[in-house]
Structures are given as C-alpha cells and as structure tokens.
Amino acid sequence: MLDSLQTIIVFCLYMVLLFLTALWVERKSARGRDLVNNPLVYSLSLAVYCTAWTYYGSVGKAANSGLIFLSIYLGPTISVVLWWTVLRKLVRIKTTQHITSIADFISARYNKSQSLAALATVMALFGTMPYIALQFKAVLSTFAIITSPGGADPSWIARHLGPVLVALMALFTIILGIRRLDPTERHPGLVMAVAVECLVKLMAFLAAGIFVTFFMFDGFDDIFRRIEATSPEVLANLWTADQSSPVLWTTYLVLAMSAILFLPRQFHVAVVENSDENHIRTAMWMFPLYMLLINIFVLPIALGGILKGYPAAQADTFVLGLPLAAGQKWLSLLVFIGGASAATGMIMISSITVSTMVTNHLLVPVFGLVKSLAFLNRQLLKCRWVAVAGVILIGYWFERQVGESYMLVNIGMISFAAALQFAPVILGGIFWRRGNERGALLGMGAGFAVWFYTLLLPAFVRSGWIDDSLLTKGLLGVSFLNPERLFGVVTLDPLTHTVFWSMAFNLGFYVLGSLYFEQSKEEQSLAEAFVGALTTKPSLPGPYDRKSYIDVAPKTKLIRELLTQYFGEADAAHMTEKCLQSAGIKNKNKSRISIVELAGLHSEAEKMLAGSIGAAAAHRALTLAAVFTANEARELSDVYAEILARLKVTPKELERKIDYYQEREALLTHYASELEQKVKERTRDLEAAQEELIKRERLSVLGQLTAIVSHELRNPLGVIRSSVYFLSRKFSGSDEKTAKHLNRIEQQVGLCDSIIGELLEYTRGRRVATVQGELNPWLEELLDQIPKPDSVSILRTLSPSLPPVHFDREKLRRVIVNLVENAVQAVVARQNAAAEQHKPYSPQVRVTTSPADKGVRIEVEDNGIGMAQQTADRAFEPLFTTRARGTGLGLAIVKKIVEEHGGTVSLTSRREAGTTLTVVIPGTPPLEAQKESDSAGEAPAG
C-alpha cells in the first residue's frame, strides 16, 4: 500500500512537471522555435487514443473475452495505410480552411452549415462526456486501490481527490489550452504535455508488463504453459469467446478504424494540431508500433493475474494490483502515474475540443439569436474557460452519479459508435463532390438518431434509468421497434446491430439526400476545394518556387534528338542551346531544374519547332517525345491548380475570364494590325511626299539654274539671230549653198529659243490668270493660227452647248498648240512610214469639245503612230522624250497648266492606231486663281 499523501504529492509533482514542460514549450514556440513541430511528438500525441480504458480495461477485456481487445488497435493499424491519402487530405484542408474542430470541418465542407456544426457538437458532447467520466473513475478508483487495497476505507485524500483532480484538470487545460484565443487552435504546450504523458503511460505499462511476465513468471511461454496446465478451462473459455464473436471482432475493427480519426479528440490531435503534414509519414509506422508495444503485455498480465488466483472479473485492476501485491511500491506508483497520464491526457484534449465546439457552434449562434446575450460575443475566451470547466465538472459529476452503471463501463464502444456517424460525411466530403449539406444533415441526423435509439437508450435501460419494457416489449409495445432488435434483426449483438442500422440509415440518407437535393454554387466551390485538396499545396512558397530535382541532361538530350529529326545535328544542337538560353536555364548553369523551368524549356522547344513545322505538328511532336514523365505532368497540373487556388476563382470563372482575355487579346491584335496598316499607309504617304518634296527641290534648283542659263543663252542667241539676219540680207541672191546654211542657222536658233522658252515656262512660268469666256470661238481662232503641213487636216467637232469656263488664254494656248503639234508630228511620222511602205494612209487630227461634269472637255485625237503603253505611262513626266530633238517638257507643261486651271489631263494611245489626249477644264476658276482675283479686288492697304 502507498501513502495517500505521498501518492498525491508525486502525482501533483508529475502534473507540475508536465505543466512546466508545456509552459517551456509554449515560450519556445512564442520565440519561433516550435519544439512540437516534430514527428515523434506528433506520433506520441496520437496515442491519446489509448486512454485509461485501454490502460486498465484491455487487461479486463483480455481476461474475460480473449484477444478481441486487440481489434481496437488492429483496426487503426490497418487504416493507417490510407493516412497518406486520407489524413494528409484532412490536414491540407485544415490548413487551407482554418478548421478548428471536427464539427467545424463538417460545417465548412457542407456550405458552412450551422445546423450541421450544432448537430456534430451535440453528438460529440453525448459521446465525450461519459468518456471523461470514465477517465475520472479510472484515476479515482486506482488511487483508492494503491492507497487502500483490499477494500479498506479510503483515506481522506482519496475521498476528496475528485474535486482536486477536477480543479487541477480545469486549471491545467485552461492555462495550456485556451489561455488566449488562437485562430489556428494549435496548442504546442498542451500537445507536448500529452506526448510526454503518452510516453510515460507506455513506459509504465511496459514496466508493469515486463515485471509480471519476466519477474513474476518466466516469460510468455511460461505463462501460457502454466495456464494450460492449471486452468485449461480459462483458455477454452477465452477461445470460445473469440471463436463465437467474429462478427463482433469485425465490428470492433470497423469502429476502431473510424475512431482513430473521427473521435473528436483524435481529430484534434491528428488534424488540428498537426503542424506539418510530413509528420504523418512517421506516425504511419510509429503510432502502430506504439499500440503494439502497449498491448504486447496485456494478455500475459491478464493470464498472470488469473494464475495468481485473482478473479477475471477484477482483471481491470491487474496492471496495478499485481505489482502492488508483489510489494513493488514504486512500480505501482509508476503504473498509477501512467494510468493517470492516460486519463488526464484524454480529459484535457477532449475538454478543449468539446468546449471549442460548444462555444463556436452552440453558444455563438445563440448569442447571435438572443440580442440580450450579444455582449458575450466579446467574452468568447471567458466563455470557453467556463465551457472547459463545465465539461470537466459535468464529467466528474457524471462519474459520481453513474460510476458503476452499465453505460459507463461500455462507454468506450458507445463513443466509438457515435464517432462512426461522422465517417460518411467526412469521407464523402473529401472524396465525393456531389455530397451536399442536406444529404449530410439527413445522413448524420439519421445515424445519430439510430445510434441514440439502439445503443444509448438500451444503455440507459440497463443502467436502470429507464423502464426495461423498452427492451422487452419494444417502443410502444411494438416488438418490431425494439431498440436492440430493430425491424426484427435478432441475430446481431447490440453493438453490431447499432453499427449496421446506423450506417444503413446514415449512408442511405446521406447518399440519397445528396443525390436528390441540388448543390448551391457555394457548395460546389467548397466541394471542389475539399475533394481536390491534395492537388494543391498550402506551403508558403509560391507556385513557381518548386524544388529543382529534374536532371537537365536527359531532357536536353530528348529535345535535341527531337530537333535532329527535323534539322541537321549541328543545327539541332544550336537550337537546343538557344532553347535552354531562352528558358533561363543555361544562364544559371544548373544541372537540375524545377518543373516550372522544365515547362519553360518545353515551351521554348515547341515554339522553336513550330516556327518550322507549324504549331499543331510541333505540339504533337513534343507530346510524342514525352519530355514530361507522368509524375512531372501531374506536378505541372498541380502548379496550375495551385495558381488557380491562389486566384481564388472557380474553374468556370477562370474559363470565363480566359475567354474574356482571349477576346480582348483578339480585339487588341485586330486593332494593332489596323493601326499597323494605317502607320504603313501614312509612312508610304510621307515617303511619297518626301520624295515629291525632294523632287520639287531638285526641280526648283534646276529651274533656277535653267532660268539663269536660259537668260544667259538668250542674249547670245539674240545676237546670233541678228547676225544671221544681217548676213542673209547681205548674201541674198548669192550662192544657194550659203543661203541654205544661213537658213539652217536661223532654224536652229529658233529651235534653241523654243527649248529655252519651254524650260522657262516649266520651271518659272507665271501663275495662271483666268478669265471667264466662251471656249469654242477662241479655240477656232487658235486652230487657224497653228501651222501644219497641207497634207494634214485638222477636223473640228465643237459642241455648241459649252458652258463658259475660266481659263488663261495665253497658257491654254500653249496647251492646245502643244497637243495639236504633237498630234501633227505623230500623223506626219506615220504618213512618212506609210509612204515608205507604200501603204495608203490618210492623216487626220481631230479636236473635239464637249460639256463635261461642271466644265468643258477638249479632246485632241490623231491617227498617228501612237505609242507603247510604257511610253504612254511616262508621257507626262518632265524631261521624258522619245524624240531625238525634244526637251521632254511638252506634255509636262500641258499637265502643269491644266492642273493650275484645276482641271485634269489624260492620255490614251495605241501603237499604229493613234493617240487621244483629253483635257478637262472646270467651269469654276481654280482656287489659287480665285485667291489672286480676290486679293486683286481688295483695296491696297495703306
């Protein structure tokens, strides 16, 4: 027997030690050193699964029911295999959605439903409160055992330990767990305390097991041999129990698989308190190993107790009782501390979890509904303190009231069955997009109702709180509604019966409800975020900050080989280098690249190839080249998904935005090409204008030069002409030869004078001075004056209805003379040619006038030699001529004068057919002429 005071002091010291450890961790954490961010701590904290029920109850179960207790630990071991998918997903969602509890998780997934959260909270409350009571019972009863064995009266301390324990637990939990409101709901100090407690309870249990197995007996074989020799009926009974309950074994497996994650406290330590999802990897093997170790001595202790003559009914106390009976005080104390650790760890985590849920999902909505309580919204922290204290206190009160009841003894599996009701909505929520709020509400509600009716209510009956007619006759006397034989199912044990019916209702309503009711847009978005949680990573680095692990060399080789199929080896190598450079890989001189960089390289290679074989073929070639492995392709998808997640837009919205941007891009491209076209046109115009300007400048220079030269030439030409005149008078009547030469000189001088005149006219001609008048009389007079060979006749077709036009008589005279002379020369040339070839030809020049649109048209038509198209095209160019003796200014001067009149001139010609020149003179005076006439009409200033 241990001294009560001594025991309580050791227990309190242990608690203080835990408290100090937790505080130290909290302080370290506040300074940025997170000691809990450790896979070992995470794995140990998960062992809060092994409560006092495990610690003491497993031995009791083993002594009475054989190995079935192992299924409680084998179930989680099996389900752990899927943690890398399931638990990692839950943790990922917790991080992204800032989940604080299992109720919060369910609510967040299903349209942030308050009703679902409230329902989950109530279910958690129902399942947890008696469980907390069970932990109190374990601590209090074991304290009584080690301080007053053999049923002696408990000491004063043992009698008053309960309130002390409640106070300690509440204080400890509040200080370490909810000293302040933390939006992440992570409690590093508390988690470290729980991890230490889990380590202590394992050590304590192993110590007890080793003592019983190897010190009280000679190992496992010795225990089995002795039990077989002395109590074969025990083995037979245990074996029969195991053999007869394969269904129950399976039920335990299923319940335990679900409980390891969906018991509120397990969800809290595994999901909410997880600081790094990589810790799951270690926990995947370390936690099952922990469970194996804590269970390996359970059966030997149970059998050892029986061998020592203790009744199997008291097997719950064997862990503590055997060392105590053997006089191992300190070992007994250690075992007690271990058991207390198991109990307090569970109480702390459960009370925090439940109080968080109660505050967030029951009290806060009530504060919102009842206006007089709205002020409490600012006192949430204190409300949570009260909630924690309340949960612990009610747990203790429950233990005091129903400590020995059927319900409390079986609360472990009852809680597990309650936690199972969360499984469909949570698993459906993270794997089934269609699952919706109403389906979840119906499913979970139905499952909870069935659980309550078929398992909890019978427990109340067996505890004596409700009349047993419910179990004997059924609800309202209808045996079909018997809670333990619902709808006539009589072959299943009560637990399996509940699991079967609750799951049938839960799953059925969840699936049918989800299929029947439509999801809102918000729900669809949430479902997408939850189901696709693993496609994005919540790590802080951006989507482009990816690890460089892909070898560049093989990828470069692939691309070079691909390019070699289309280009020469040397070119392919060069192009590959260019791709590497464009992708920014060569500059960094890296041997390994990230998936983002590989995507860049892939894109550059595709662009390079597309330039030669087209985009579609290039895309296909790159696809066939398989530059991305399956994993790399998936990671690239992750990058895009992460970008999408960061954009916080739904895929549909993104698609719409992409469409919009594509349209905008198309419009911009269209406008850009239009602008480009306009710029090109303007550039062309500018170039033409500049060319014209240059040409004019040149002509201007040429004009000035011509004017000077012409002026200087005309003087000597005048002297020559006078001298020729004098000589021709002097030698008149002399020899014919002299007269001929003198005549030739005179002609050539005349020609020179004419050329100079044309040059001066073109380069420095005076401006037009138009006068309104009738064209026909003037034209007839002029045509009469133009000299022509006799063989050529000038026909006139002058329209009598010509409107009066404004024209400069002198200038237009030059035009007509020029055109008629050209026509005459053309017909004469053809006449000469016809004469040489002895062909008949009748030379003809026709001058026609006719009214034109707001003016007069003058056509000079001949049937002369005509001209080639190339010549016709250039006919109006200054200095262009096909004649041996010509300045090439004739038609240029015509064009210039007509344009000065505001008119147009055109030419049509065909070789050996003739030429037609058409001049159109407008009826109104030209703008420049108008200005001049206007200014001339004004009175001179001054």
Partner 1 sequence: MMERLIALIRRREFHVFLFVLGLVLFGWPVITFSDIGRLEMMFKYLFLAWMIFIFLLFLVAVSQSVSSGSKESEEGQE
- Residues found near partner 1 in the complex (CB under 8 A): 66-67, 70-71, 74, 77-82, 84-85, 220-221, 224, 228, 232, 235-236, 238-240, 242-243, 246-247, 249-250, 253, 278, 281-282, 284-285, 288-289, 292, 296, 299, 534-535, 537, 539, 547, 549, 630-631, 634-635, 638
Work out how close the CB of 78 gets to partner 1 at its nearest, in angstroms, rounded to a whole number: 3
Give phi and psi for 244, each to the nearest 5: -85, -5
Q: Are 503 and 419 in contact (CB under 8 A)?
A: no
Number of H helices, E strands in the chain: 40, 9
Distance between CA atoms of residues 449 and 468, nearest Å:
20
> 235 vs 720, which CB is nearer to partner 1?
235
Which is it for strands 805-807 and 904-910: parallel, antiparallel or unpaired? unpaired
Q: Are 849 and 802 in contact (CB under 8 A)?
A: yes
Q: Are 26 and 191 in contact (CB under 8 A)?
A: no
With a CB cutoff of 8 Å and minimum separation 6, the contacts of 709 are none
> 234 vs 828, which CB is nearer to partner 1?
234
Distance between CA atoms of residues 480 and 471, nearest Å:
11
Q: Minimal CA–CA distance to 817: which of 769, 783, 867?
A: 783
Q: Where are the alpha helices (DSSP H) in 57-113?
A: 58-65, 71-79, 86-97, 102-109
Work out how close the CB of 87 gets to partner 1 at its nearest, in angstroms, rounded to a whole number: 12
> 401 vs 629, which CB is nearer to partner 1?
629
Distance between CA atoms of residues 586 and 358, nearest Å:
59
Work out how close the CB of 513 gets to partner 1 at its nearest, in angstroms, rounded to a whole number: 28
Work out how close the CB of 582 gets to partner 1 at its nearest, in angstroms, rounded to a whole number: 26
Work out how close the CB of 292 gets to partner 1 at its nearest, in angstroms, rounded to a whole number: 5
Work out how close the CB of 616 gets to partner 1 at its nearest, in angstroms, rounded to a whole number: 27
Distance between CA atoms of residues 643 and 437, nearest Å:
28
Work out how close the CB of 635 gets to partner 1 at its nearest, in angstroms, rounded to a whole number: 6
> 170 vs 639, which CB is nearer to partner 1?
639
The residues that bridge with 680 in the sheet, in sequence order, are: none
Work out how close the CB of 554 gets to partner 1 at its nearest, in angstroms, rounded to a whole number: 14
> 16 vs 236, which CB is nearer to partner 1?
236
Q: Are 608 and 579 in contact (CB under 8 A)?
A: yes
> 242 vs 753, which CB is nearer to partner 1?
242
Q: Are 395 and 135 in contact (CB under 8 A)?
A: yes
Work out how close the CB of 82 gets to partner 1 at its nearest, in angstroms, rounded to a whole number: 6
Q: Minimal CA–CA distance to 299: which of 218, 362, 209, 380?
A: 209
Work out how close the CB of 172 gets to partner 1 at its nearest, in angstroms, rounded to a whole number: 33
Q: Are 889 and 789 in contact (CB under 8 A)?
A: no
Catalogue the long-range contacts made by 647-650 (C-beta closer than 8 Å, 24 or more residues apart): 650/524, 650/525, 650/528
Q: At what angle do helices 246-262 and 411-420 cross, to 10 degrees?
A: 70
> 79 vs 506, which CB is nearer to partner 1?
79
Work out how close the CB of 503 gets to partner 1 at its nearest, in angstroms, rounded to a whole number: 17
Work out how close the CB of 598 gets to partner 1 at its nearest, in angstroms, rounded to a whole number: 13
> 280 vs 917, which CB is nearer to partner 1?
280
Distance of CA 679 to the CA centre of its chain: 38
Give phi and psi for 478, each to the nearest 5: -95, 110
The half-sphere exposure of 80 on its side-chain side, counting CA atoms within 13 A, is 21
> 500 vs 566, which CB is nearer to partner 1?
500
> 259 vs 299, which CB is nearer to partner 1?
299
Work out how close the CB of 86 gets to partner 1 at its nearest, in angstroms, rounded to a whole number: 9
With a CB cutoff of 8 Å and minimum separation 6, the contacts of 625 are 558, 559, 561, 562
822 sits in which H/E element: helix 809-836
> 315 vs 819, which CB is nearer to partner 1?
315
Q: Minimal CA–CA distance to 283: which of 195, 177, 415?
A: 195
**Region class of 51: left (phi > 0), else alpha (psi between -120 and 50), else beta:** beta
Work out how close the CB of 555 gets to partner 1 at its nearest, in angstroms, rounded to a whole number: 15
> 634 vs 744, which CB is nearer to partner 1?
634
As a whole number of angstroms, the longest Cα–Cα distance in the chain is 183
> 247 vs 720, which CB is nearer to partner 1?
247
Distance set, CA 246 to CA 75, 76, 409, 494, 497 (Å): 14, 18, 22, 14, 14
As to burial, measured by CB atoms within 10 angstroms (0-12 exposed, 13-18 middle, 19+ buried), residue 908 is middle
Q: Are 632 and 589 in contact (CB under 8 A)?
A: no
Work out how close the CB of 40 gets to partner 1 at its nearest, in angstroms, rounded to a whole number: 13
> 237 vs 933, which CB is nearer to partner 1?
237
Q: Where are the alpha helices (DSSP H) in 403-432?
A: 406-409, 411-420, 423-431
> 14 vs 249, which CB is nearer to partner 1?
249
Distance between CA atoms of residues 595 and 547, nearest Å:
8
As to burial, measured by CB atoms within 10 angstroms (0-12 exposed, 13-18 middle, 19+ buried), residue 597 is buried
Distance between CA atoms of residues 103 and 266, nearest Å:
13
Structure-token pair, residue 130: 């008696």
Structure-token pair, residue 605: 């290679």
User: What is residue 551's three-state secondary structure?
Assistant: strand
> 78 vs 613, which CB is nearer to partner 1?
78
Work out how close the CB of 276 gets to partner 1 at its nearest, in angstroms, rounded to a whole number: 11
Work out how close the CB of 658 gets to partner 1 at its nearest, in angstroms, rounded to a whole number: 24
Work out how close the CB of 571 gets to partner 1 at its nearest, in angstroms, rounded to a whole number: 34
> 282 vs 850, which CB is nearer to partner 1?
282
> 431 vs 660, which CB is nearer to partner 1?
431
As to burial, measured by CB atoms within 10 angstroms (0-12 exposed, 13-18 middle, 19+ buried), residue 737 is exposed
